[in-house]
Homo-oligomer: A and B are copies of this chain.
Amino acid sequence: MNYDQLLSVARKQAEIGAKEGGVPVGAALFDAEGKLLGEGRNRRVQEDDPSIHGETDAFRKAGRQTNYRDKILVTTLAPCWYCSGLIRQFNIGTVVVGEAVNFPGHLDWLREAGVNVIELRDPECIKLMAQFIEQRPDIWNEDIGECEH
């Protein structure tokens, strides 16, 4: 499986999100053969909806699947607890992470639960996220539940 190719789908979603002024995290769900089932992006800002992270959006867009064990969730950024919980609850077999530099997530927690975690260090994903965190720390902190007020 060409994980970089799968990542490009998620990264395109993140880039759309960046242009929209949103949190630039994109994700996509694929079947075992690499067929795209659903793609999405964080839309906290665009839809004023804190429940739409990239991963949950891609999961949603893929519709009801009876089994996720053989599915591949690709995300541009390491998943937060909310999205890690989604992965673990539905037993998503493989998670491809574009980068875990700007946000480390909980990759070991996923690995301990038997998830096949593939960590890439995609320069474009790193750059996109770093720029956003620098420009809009307020939205970023809100998105990861770290607002101080």
Residues of A within 8 A of B (CB): 44, 48-51, 56, 59-60, 63-68, 80-86, 88-91, 142, 144-145, 147, 149
In chain B, what residue has the closest Cβ to A91? B145
**A83 contacts which chain B residues (CB < 8 A)?**
85
Cβ–Cβ contact A63 & B48, under 8 A: yes
Each complex incorporates copies of this chain amounting to 2
In chain B, what residue has the closest Cβ to A49? B60
Q: With A66-B147, A89-B82, A147-B67 given, is the CB distance from A50 to B44 under 8 Å?
A: no
A137 to nearest B CB, angstroms?
14
**A59 contacts which chain B residues (CB < 8 A)?**
50-51
Cβ–Cβ contact B66 & A60, under 8 A: no
Cβ–Cβ contact A66 & B142, under 8 A: yes
Cβ–Cβ contact B85 & A86, under 8 A: yes
8 Å CB contact of A85 from B85, B91, B147: B85
